[in-house]
Structures are given as C-alpha cells and as structure tokens.
C-alpha cells in the first residue's frame, strides 16, 4: 500500500503540474507499464485524453495538435518498441520547432538489460532529437520528491516551448503493482496548490544601436528583398508587411509564411517567384543587393538557386530560435532576435522610402506570371497544377489547408495565389517526410474547425493507420487525394531519364483502390470526375461531417508535361517582357 | 563526370562486397538521396531487391527474412524521417539477435544542421541499439577508398552475424548529382575480385576442466531441470535432448525453443508447465536443485515465478551471445559458450544416470495436464485456447508458425503440445512489441514455404501497411486473425478490476471490419463460423496462393473465463494427484 500511495502521489502531482503548465491534451497508446500514468491522467477533469493504438500515428497526431495551438501536447506510451515508434514524429517536431512532451514508461533499474520482457534501453532513446531528456526518479511520497516531480514537469513544458520549440523526453521507471489509488483528493496538492513554478520564457532582442546600424544600411539600399519562409508568430504578418511598405522591398512569401492569405496588406507580396525565377532574363533584372530572410528555408528550389547565384548580396537572417538556417552559406549577418520585434523596432528608425524601379520589376513580372496562370485555371483537365491554382477559391473562409510533402507542397508553392481569405496553411516541413501526414492533419483538425488536407497517394498510404483517429473521434476532415499511382516527384528529377528500373525504384505504383480502406474507417469516398464535381462538393463541404476523401486521379507523365509546358510558356513571355522593358 | 565515376566505383565496390559477404536480399524504400545506391543495387544479378514504401514495415520485412535465414538482410532508405521509421525494427533486431545491415543515405557535411531540406542528424541515429555505427567517407575513386569501402562492408556483415547477432548502421553522405554511371563492367573489381576479406567469426567455448567440474556437479544432482527459451541453432535440439537423456532432467521447452515440434526425441520434453506451475502442490514437489538454462527468457510468467521462488537452486545460464539474460538475478554460473557445443562437450564426461522419481513427477504432472486439455480440444466454442490446442494438427508438415505478441504467444505457450511434425515457430520476442508483425512474417515467408501467422486484432491493425508486400510480391501467407476487438491481454492484468476508464485505456475496441482492407490488398477474407470450417480451409491451404486471412471472432470476457475455468480445473486435478502420490 505504501508503494501504491507513493506511486499515486508522485504521478498525480506530475499530472496536475502538467495541467498547470498549460497542457490540455495527451495522446495515450495502450500498454501495461504506463498504466499508473494513464489511469491518473484519465481522472483529470481538465486533460483531454486521446487514445491511439499505433504509436507512430499517435505521436504525429499530438504533433498536429501542438502545431495548431502552439502549446505542447503530451504523449504517453509503454516500454519497448512502442517508444521507438514515436521517433519519426519526434524528429519532425525537432526540426519544425513544435513543442511535444514525450512520456515513456520504463522498467525499473533492476529489470534493465537483463532480458526482462519488453525492456529496451530507453535512456537518451531519441538522442540529439529531443531538446531535453530526463530519467525520472522512482516514485516516492515525500515533500522533496513531489517538489522534484512538479519542477521537472514545469521545466519540461517550458523547455518545449522555449524558442526554438521542440520535443522533450521524460522516462519513468515504474515498479509493480502498477495500479494507482484513485480517490476524490487525487489532485489536491498541499504546497503551492495552483502551480509550483511559473517559467517566463524571454524573447531574443537586439539592442537599438545594432538596429539603427541595420536601418541605415537598409535605407540606402535600392535593391532589397525580403524572403519569408514558414513562421508561426501571429503578429508577424503585419509587422513584416509594414516594414516592406516603408522599405519598398518585395516580400517573397513562401506558402507557409502565412502571408499569401489573410487580412494584412498584400501590396508587396510576391508569390509566383518559383515560376519566374526559372527564367534567366527575369533573374538578371531582379538581382538584390540586400536580402532580409525570416523563418524556415522556403520550399522553392528556384528561389534557393536564385539566392545562391546572388551570393554577393548582404544576407540578413533573423531567427528567434537561434538556429543556423543557411544551407548555401550566404548569410552575412545572423541575427538572433524575435522576428516580429525585429521588424517593429526597425520601423522606429526608418521613414517611408520612395518607390523604386526594382520593386516595380518584381511586381510586374509577378503580375505577368499570374496572368499566365489563368491558362491553367481555365483548363478542364484534372491536373495537379489546376487544383492548386484554384484551391484558395474552393476553400471556405477560415479554413486550414494542410499540404502533403513531395509534389503537393511544391505545387502549392507554384500555384497558390495571394488572397484575402483567412486560410491557415500547414505542412510537416521540419524533415519533409511523407510519414504521419494524415495523423498530423487530424490532430490539427481538433483545434482548427475546417480542415482540408491535400496529399499524394504514397503519402496517404504511408499513414493509413492515422485514419483510425477520424473514426474513433468523429473528426471532421476533407482529404483531397491526388492519386497518380506512385512517386510523382521523381518525374522531375534526373533519375527519370534512366528508364531501366525507374518504375521499380522510383515510380513505385501501388495499384491500390483506397475506397476499401476509407470505407473501413466509415469515411465517404468520392472519385472526382471533373472540376464542377469537386467545386460542388467543396461548396457543400462545410456541412459534411466526419471523414471525407475526394480522389483525383492524375497521370505522372502528363503532370510533368503540363508543368514543363507552363514553365516554358511563362518563360517566353517574361523574356519578351524583360527585353521590352530594357528597350 | 569525375564525381559520378567516383560515386559509381565506390558504391559498386560496396554492393559487390555486400554480395561477397553473403547478403542476398535488400529492402529498398524509395527516395532521392539514396538514388545512387538503389540504382547500383538494382543492377546486381545476385541481389534480390524488395521495394517497400513504408520504411517501418520495410525494416520489419527485412527482419523477417534475416530471422528465417540467419543471414543479414540489408535495408536502404533516403535521408530524414525515413531513417527514423526503421527504429522499431532495429530495436527488435537488437534484442532478438537478428542480423541487419542498415544503410541510410545522408546529405553531405556542408548541408547538415543548416536548415537544408530533409536533413536530420543521422550520426548515431539509433544510439545504443545498433552493434556498430560508421559514418562513411564521401565517395572517391582510388585504391585506398575502394579498399576502405569494401572492408567496412565485410566488417559490417561480420559484426551483424557475430554472436549475439544484431543490426549495424552505415550512414552514407552523397553529393549531387546522384546518378551513377551504369555499364557492364560495373561490378568488376581490379583487386581481390572474389571478395576483399573473409571474416571467420569464432564460437565461444569453455575449456574441458570447467566442463568436467560442471559435469561432476550435474551427475550428483537428482533434481535438475533444463529450461530452454528461444534458440535458433539447428543442432541444438539433438544436443540438448541427448543431454537430458543422460542426466534424466526434464526439459521445460518454450514454444520458441523449437523443441516442441520436430524429429528429435521428445521423451524428456515438458511443455504444459505454464499451466501446472500455477498450482502450489505441483510446485512443492517439483523444486529443482539445479537449473540449466539456454536461450532467451521463456514466455511463461508462471515459470518465471517458479524459478524465482527457487532462487536457492544453482542456476547455470549458457549464452553463446555473452548477454546477461537474468531478470530475477538467479544465475550462479554465467557460462558464455555456444549452447550446442556446451551440451556436446558435457556429454563426453557424463554417463547415463539412473531414472529418478523427480523426473517421473514432472512427466506425470505434464501428462495429467495434457489429458485435461482434451476438454478444451473437445469444446465446440470458437475459443482462443482451443485454437492453439489444435494448431499443430491443423498445420501441414514443414509449416512455419509465426505468432503475434500479447495473448497469442502466451496461448501458444500454454496450449501448443509436443508433436513430431517439422513446425518452425517464430515470434518477435526481442522487445515483445505488437508492431511490425505482419511484415516480419511476410519477410520470413520469402524463405519459408508454408507460412501461418496467428495474431490478434490490435497487432494486425498496427502493421496493416505491411500487407502491401503480400500484394506486390505475391507472397503466400495464411493469417489467422483472432479478433476480440481490442486488447485481450489486459483482461488478465490487475487493471481489469478497475472498470472505470477500462475500455477507454485498455480494452480499446477498434470496431473495424478488416475485410475491407484485406480486399484492398487483393486478399481472401473468410470469417470462420466453426471449427470444421477452419479445419477444412487449413486442409486446403497448401493449394491457396497469395494473401489469405481467416478471422475468428472471440470475446475478451469469455476468453478470460475459459482460461480461469481451465486453470482451476487442472489445478484441482493436480492437487488431488500430488496428494495421492504423497499418500
């Protein structure tokens, strides 16, 4: 009884502190060793428990909730390979800076490395991919141990959200018997009953002298550009668009910058650069002297190449997370500072600059490219590019658009046009995997009312198990499944020129009729026949609950042709335009 | 061109050496960074390539092939979370001592930790869970580098099979362009054209003086028992049964010891101990003075408890892998020696001992328990215990029986009776996970002609993606799916007495009709209606190709009752018998 009392007091204090630290959701995978933690968590009135049998999907599901809320989500599993299944989502959380609290139950010390069942070495199980690891003490019931459990909990939550946010891992050894003593006073704490320690995470700022110096350089610069990758700070859109307005700098806005949609000014937003930066004439007149870069590396390869070709430009990288996002070694000034504060502070020292021909060139070429996109929009083919060129119109106000990796995120980058709807765009761009996408979107859907997920068939296949959550929790989601029966992105890579073994190694057609599995999860499955069909379904989508899958069957070879035709047509127009401008 | 020449020569030398080192199979998951290795591998005439999109299933599929052949299987994937998905199978390989060669493609050094796409920290990615990690040099074409690549390859293969066998990890940084130069002379090697280095892995042996000492002790012992857990050495069955015969020791044979089936003598084999060691009267007359233990820890909890209660017995643990399999700290003599050699050497120093009442007690109680099992066999209920009590009769000669974790392996332990068929029994008992079971069985099926997999619904669900291999490669497999709609094992654990939240946290019913997903993979799905039905299907199973799933719907509550009724009935009989013996 003494053992169970200690077990219960220790865990209850930990769980209560978890709630005090702002954690509202935990995803639990069933198991035996984790029994005391799971049973105590289930008793807490302010903790939402989600059960997921497949730990890989469970961790991505938690990742989705954390992405949508910017709050840490907790995950709990038993000992053994269960914990190893968390690894892909933990890696993604680490690189995409999403807070996760990973709780693994473990055998106690005397049952480790001695052949006991379901016992693996869980110490530093995730290596460098968590921000913090702590092997927890065995449960005891005394003031010091309870204080310890509560501070470790508060600390773990704080570290998880500290910029750069990321996963933390606590490993709990539990001895049998594993049953806690549950009663009404479970979560009553004798000390500091409303929270043991509040952690105030500071933001990185740089001093005014440095800001003034940068302001001076920027004011003198006539050919500056701003590049924005994935960034989540809600104040950033206004801050950076205000800065662009006074500087007269174009903003090259990645789809994940959250700048292509929304109520902020879009006057300076350039969004079709992935297309026009494939053209040498455009690149020759758009060369920047200064680059201000915010957020993660942009999706666009054409932009990456363009920046690399302009390595003589001064490049300022502003990173609130103190990372080193600079794969081409271009940065001249690495500025570890909150991005929104940086923009706002800079505005204090810069007055509105006069308009520039350079800004006009960016705007004109962007406009021209958008006009040519109408040809895609007016096509009747069920093409991947057309889907993304009209998706902002198909989605309702307030929607969340989650996009799969490989081709969908690239097509979104190419064809997702500025709009003033409130559309939140999400993707797993930490490590760019095709794993866990369904689960992440479903997790995000818990906290984002209208969730639309667009992904390819391999990505859909990879996380089929994730669909279980939609069924178990009646989550509303609309999945647009682009089924080109295999790996479409490889058609754009050099290996596609080597036909021998190409389909075996890269094309990898699965030949699956996904209707079967969607039915298993009680979903509606619709094979789209034409654009009017999907437009109609999207119009009615707000009224459709549960799991809805809309399959658009496309062809990999035709898709490649369409992209190439579009790029060469735009390129021709841009070259003509540039030559006309110069004349 | 120089780059591509170096890339090609380096990788081709590595792949050729892989084949020289005895590797016949590689499981490749599609990706970009791994392109040069995948394209070269596909050219090799003596390497079987298996493609699997889901890396988690891919790694378990490779594990299955390695388990079936005792040869290392290679796996190859691209950079990023792809590699993280290998983790569960790597952990299982580590603890179940299965050789795997894990090949991950990586970004080169200048693209690491700088925000480059799909780049994660892959150095020591699997931590302590691989036997060896090596970060490979960048490809170069010169004698020293080619020698280096070939020796690392041979060494990796040797370490993987060195006892205890396990996974090794080589991480390959590759620069673009990633296309190798393929021609007819790809695998021609100028130096040592039939293999760079042969590694001769020794076996652990102990000297004759020590063997003689042990022989002396065993000869004087009237109450000795032999315990055999999972062991794969093909010569072991004869060696240990010969030893038991001269010593007059019962062999408590775990289902994974490969001793319950086969052509060796089964005179000394005791197989129903998991049932009768729950009875105190039996335990009181069966107390051993000496325990000889071989192989992994046995499945049976009753046996574990029995051994722990007899901690005063001298316990000799013989382990060819030099591990420390002793969760109850009972071992008095840890003997790091090949198990078969140990038995054979010991036989040189022991003559046949006279029969003993102790041996008779074990045999009699075992016989009594088996007789009572007839009641289960004669029942008409579609019960889990009945399935396992008759499974050896249902399977054809030469079959492989792969068993899922949680309840199936325990029921197999309880009810799988001695037989003289050649039935190989397999399970993932390194870390006892419910993950990857379908894939492991399918991988094993590549090298085991008649594969029968018995598993529960949660285990089936966890690796549904694994079924893709059956479809893509037309693998023949018969899956008996015990569907009790949730986690049946928890009914036997203390948490089942706490009904509040029980179904939420532990029962976890999925309510899935698996027929849908089996159809998606072109499988036959049959819901079993009665025992004649499945007996008939099993009779015809040898003629059925492809994926066949036979679902037996059972009830978790009824299953618990049946087990309890059986145990208490046997217990009563045994107590009567023991009291009768004593009288």
Report the DSSP beta bridge partners of residue B108.
none
Domain membership of residue A206 (yes or no) is no
Which residues on A lie below 8 Å from B330 (Cβ)? none
CB B262 within 8 A of CB B268: no
Out of A346, A368, A390, a domain closes at A368
Residues 251 through 310 of chain B touching chain A, CB cutoff 8 Å:
296-297
Comparing alpha-carbon positions, the chain A residue that sits nearest to B505 is A30
The C-alpha atoms of residue A56 and residue A87 are separated, in whole angstroms, by 8
Q: Is B520 in contact with A508 (Cβ distance < 8 A)? A: no
Residues 498 through 517 of chain B touching chain A, CB cutoff 8 Å:
498, 500-501, 504-506, 508, 510-514, 516-517
CA dihedral angle for residue B168, residue B173, residue B176, residue B178, rounded to 10 degrees:
-20
CB A420 within 8 A of CB A41: no
B581 compared with B139, residue with greater pLDDT: B139
Domain membership of residue B569 (yes or no) is no
The answer to whether residue A42 neighbours chain B at the CB level (below 8 Å) is: yes
- By C-alpha distance, which of A213, A495, A224, A517 is closest to A353? A224
Cα–chain center distance at B452 = 14
Domain membership of residue B202 (yes or no) is no
Residue B583 in this model has a pLDDT that exceeds 70 = no
CATH number of the structural domain spanning residue A325? 3.40.50.1220
Q: What is the pLDDT of residue A449?
A: 81
Domain membership of residue B162 (yes or no) is yes
CA atoms within 13 A on the CB side of B389: 23
Eight-class DSSP state of A261:
B
- Mean pLDDT value across residues B541-556: 95
Residues 470 through 489 of chain A touching chain B, CB cutoff 8 Å:
471-472, 487, 489
Q: How far is CA A174 from CA A7, A80, A141, B185, in A?
A: 8, 14, 14, 59
Do B224 and B354 share a structural domain?
yes
Residue A466 burial by Cβ neighbours in a 10 Å radius (0-12, 13-18, 19+): buried
Comparing alpha-carbon positions, the chain B residue that sits nearest to A34 is B505
Do B462 and B394 share a structural domain?
yes
Do B9 and B157 share a structural domain?
yes
CATH number of the structural domain spanning residue A431? 3.40.50.970
CB B82 within 8 A of CB B27: no
pLDDT digits (tens, 9 = 90+) for A170-200: 999 999 999 999 999 999 999 999 999 999 9
Do B453 and B388 share a structural domain?
yes
The tokens for B517 are 């997903």
Selecting from A39, A80, A465 the residue whose C-beta is nearest the C-beta of B432 gives A80
Task: Write down the residue that tokens 């997790």 correspond to.
Answer: A443
The answer to whether residue B181 neighbours chain A at the CB level (below 8 Å) is: no
Do β-strands A314-318 and A399-403 pair in parallel, antiparallel, or remain unpaired? unpaired
Angle at A343 between CA A341 and CA A349, to 5 degrees: 105
- Mean pLDDT value across residues A227-251: 96
Domain membership of residue B524 (yes or no) is yes
CB B56 within 8 A of CB B86: yes
Question: How sure is the predictor about A581, in pLDDT bands with cuts at 50, 70 and 90?
Answer: confident
The shortest C-alpha distance from B160 to chain A (Å) reads: 19
The C-alpha atoms of residue A542 and residue A25 are separated, in whole angstroms, by 26
Q: Is B325 in contact with A494 (Cβ distance < 8 A)? A: no
Question: How sure is the predictor about A583, in pLDDT bands with cuts at 50, 70 and 90?
Answer: low
The C-alpha atoms of residue B559 and residue A205 are separated, in whole angstroms, by 64
Out of A341, A368, A395, a domain closes at A368
Do B398 and B340 share a structural domain?
no
Give me the helices (H) in B174-287, please.
208-219, 236-247, 273-276, 280-285
What's the domain count of chain B? 3
HEC-encoded secondary structure of A92-134: HHHHHCCCEEEEEEECCHHHCCCCCCCCCCCCCCCHHHCCEEE
Contacts A–B by Cβ distance under 8 A: 243
Residue B454 burial by Cβ neighbours in a 10 Å radius (0-12, 13-18, 19+): buried
pLDDT digits (tens, 9 = 90+) for B290-344: 999 999 999 999 999 999 999 999 999 999 999 999 999 999 999 999 999 999 9
Could you tell me what percent of chain A has a pLDDT over 70? 99
Q: How far is CA B429 from CA A81, A453, B477, B495, in A?
A: 11, 38, 21, 24
The tokens for A465 are 């198990």
- Mean pLDDT value across residues A320-330: 96
Out of B311, B335, B368, a domain closes at B368
Return the SS3 of A9. helix
The answer to whether residue A92 neighbours chain B at the CB level (below 8 Å) is: yes
Domain membership of residue A571 (yes or no) is no
Q: Is B327 in contact with A505 (Cβ distance < 8 A)? A: no
Name the pTM for this structure.
0.98
Do A146 and A7 share a structural domain?
yes
Q: What is the span of the domain harbouring residue A333?
A: 213-368
Report the DSSP beta bridge partners of residue B451.
B400
Q: Is B506 in contact with A84 (Cβ distance < 8 A)? A: no
CB B443 within 8 A of CB B65: yes
Q: Is A92 in contact with B111 (Cβ distance < 8 A)? A: no
The C-alpha atoms of residue B328 and residue A5 are separated, in whole angstroms, by 25
Residue B582 in this model has a pLDDT that exceeds 90 = no
Domain membership of residue A573 (yes or no) is no
Selecting from B127, B323, B505 the residue whose C-beta is nearest the C-beta of A127 gives B127
Selecting from A42, A81, A115 the residue whose C-beta is nearest the C-beta of B435 gives A81
Q: How far is CA A558 from CA A449, A496, A553, in A?
A: 35, 14, 12
Which residues on A lie below 8 Å from B120 (Cβ)? 91, 94-95, 129, 431
Do B411 and B360 share a structural domain?
no
The shortest C-alpha distance from B312 to chain A (Å) reads: 19
Best mutation target, B58, B87, B111, to test chain A (most A CBs within 10 A): B87
Do B401 and B546 share a structural domain?
yes
Selecting from A81, A121, A127 the residue whose C-beta is nearest the C-beta of B433 gives A81
Which residues on B lie below 8 Å from A116 (Cβ)? 297, 327
The tokens for B451 are 């594969």
The shortest C-alpha distance from A327 to chain B (Å) reads: 5
Residues 516 through 535 of chain B touching chain A, CB cutoff 8 Å:
516-517, 519-521
Best mutation target, A59, A117, A413, A471, to test chain B (most B CBs within 10 A): A117
The C-alpha atoms of residue B198 and residue B396 are separated, in whole angstroms, by 39
- By C-alpha distance, which of A336, A377, A446 is closest to A64? A446
The C-alpha atoms of residue A136 and residue A139 are separated, in whole angstroms, by 9
Do A473 and A401 share a structural domain?
yes
The shortest C-alpha distance from B192 to chain A (Å) reads: 29
Q: How far is CA B311 from CA B288, B304, B434, in A?
A: 10, 11, 32
Do A110 and A69 share a structural domain?
yes
Domain membership of residue B341 (yes or no) is yes
pLDDT digits (tens, 9 = 90+) for B70-119: 999 999 999 999 999 999 999 999 999 999 999 999 999 999 999 999 99
Which residues on B lie below 8 Å from A493 (Cβ)? 32, 35
pLDDT digits (tens, 9 = 90+) for B472-522: 999 999 999 999 999 999 999 999 999 999 999 999 999 999 999 999 999
Do B159 and B20 share a structural domain?
yes
The C-alpha atoms of residue A88 and residue A95 are separated, in whole angstroms, by 11
The tokens for B205 are 């042996």
- Mean pLDDT value across residues B414-421: 96
Do A400 and A531 share a structural domain?
yes
């Amino acid at each position: 009884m003494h053992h169970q009392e200690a077990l219960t007091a220790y865990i209850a204090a930990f769980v209560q502190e978890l709630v005090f630290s702002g954690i509202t959701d935990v995803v639990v995978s069933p198991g035996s060793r984790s029994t005391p933690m799971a049973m105590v968590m289930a008793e807490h009135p302010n903790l939402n428990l989600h059960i997921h049998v497949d730990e890989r999907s469970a961790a991505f599901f938690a990742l989705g909730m954390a992405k949508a809320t910017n709050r840490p989500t907790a995950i709990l599993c038993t000992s053994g390979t269960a914990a190893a299944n968390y690894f892909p989502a933990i890696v993604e959380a680490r690189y995409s800076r999403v807070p996760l609290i990973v709780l693994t139950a473990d055998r106690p010390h005397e049952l480790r490395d001695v052949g006991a069942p379901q016992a693996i070495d869980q110490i530093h199980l995730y290596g460098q991919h968590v921000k913090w690891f702590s092997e927890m003490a065995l449960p005891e019931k005394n003031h010091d141990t309870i204080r310890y459990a509560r501070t470790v909990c508060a600390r773990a939550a704080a570290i998880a959200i500290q910029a750069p946010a990321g996963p933390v891992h606590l490993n709990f050894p539990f001895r049998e018997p594993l049953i806690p003593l549950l009663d009404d006073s479970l979560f009553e704490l004798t000390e500091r009953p409303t929270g043991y320690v509040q952690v105030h995470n500071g933001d990185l700022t740089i001093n005014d002298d440095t800001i003034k110096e940068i302001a001076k350089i920027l004011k003198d610069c006539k050919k500056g550009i701003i590049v924005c990758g994935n960034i989540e700070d809600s104040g950033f859109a206004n801050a950076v668009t205000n800065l662009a307005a006074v500087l007269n700098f174009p903003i090259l806005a990645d789809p994940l910058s959250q700048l292509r949609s929304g109520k902020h000014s879009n006057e300076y937003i350039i969004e079709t650069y992935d297309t026009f930066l494939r053209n040498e004439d455009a690149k020759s007149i758009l060369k920047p002297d200064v680059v201000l870069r915010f957020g993660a590396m942009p999706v666009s390869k054409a932009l990456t190449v363009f920046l690399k070709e302009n390595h003589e430009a001064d490049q300022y990288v502003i990173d609130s997370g103190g990372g080193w996002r600079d794969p081409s070694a271009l940065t001249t000034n690495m500025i570890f500072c909150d991005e929104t504060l940086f923009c706002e502070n800079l505005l204090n020292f810069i007055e509105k600059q006069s308009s520039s021909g350079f800004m006009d060139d960016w705007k004109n070429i962007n406009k021209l490219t958008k006009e040519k996109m109408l040809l895609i929009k007016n096509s009747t083919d069920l093409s991947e590019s057309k889907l993304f060129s009209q998706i902002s119109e198909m989605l309702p106000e307030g929607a969340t658009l989650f996009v799969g990796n490989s081709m969908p995120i690239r097509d979104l980058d190419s064809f997702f046009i500025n709009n003033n709807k409130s559309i939140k765009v999400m993707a797993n761009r930490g490590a760019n995997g095709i794993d866990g996408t369904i689960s992440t979107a479903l997790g995000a859907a818990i906290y984002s009312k209208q969730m639309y997920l667009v992904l390819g068939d391999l990505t859909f296949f990879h996380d089929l198990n994730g669909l279980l959550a939609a069924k178990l929790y009646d989550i509303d989601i609309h999945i647009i499944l682009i089924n080109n029966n295999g790996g479409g992105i490889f058609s754009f890579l050099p290996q596609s020129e080597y036909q021998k073994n190409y389909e075996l190694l890269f094309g990898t057609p699965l030949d699956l009729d996904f209707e079967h599995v969607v039915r298993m999860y009680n979903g509606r499955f619709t094979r789209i026949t034409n654009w009017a069909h999907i437009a109609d379904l999207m119009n009615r989508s707000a009224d459709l609950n549960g799991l809805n899958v809309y399959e658009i069957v496309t062809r990999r070879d035709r898709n490649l042709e369409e992209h190439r035709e579009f790029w060469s047509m735009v390129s021709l127009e841009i070259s003509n335009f540039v030559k006309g401008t110069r004349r």
